[in-house]
Amino acid sequence: MLDYGIFYEFIPMDAFGTPNQKVIPLHEVELFKNYALVITTNSGLWRYLIGDTIRFTSINPYRIVVTGRTKHHINVLEKN
């Protein structure tokens, strides 16, 4: 849903809430790394941290799995 007027940004969970926290655009995400999701909409929602954590399972096409919440996140990587 990249053409719905929503701009997506991602915060790597390994640096979330630290002074080293960095927000990255979609084209810089890595597979199987947990991110906090930040959205901006064309209807006026400006850089909203929705509280969900996600992990990309595919880059082309982009596919994600919701892995938790930013307040209750456990940094665990599943083995395939």
Q: What is the pLDDT of residues 13-54, one digit of tens each?
A: 999 989 989 999 999 999 999 999 998 888 877 888 888 999
CA distances from 13 to 2, 33, 64 (A): 22, 8, 15
Residue 1 has a pLDDT of: 59
State the Cα–Cα distance between residues 5 and 70, nearest whole angstrom: 24
One-letter amino acid at 19 equals: P
Residue with more model confidence, 2 or 20: 20
Helix (H) or strand (E) holding 64: strand 62-69
* Per-residue pLDDT, 5: 79
pTM score of the predicted model: 0.79
51-76 per-position pLDDT tens digit: 899 999 999 999 999 998 887 544 44
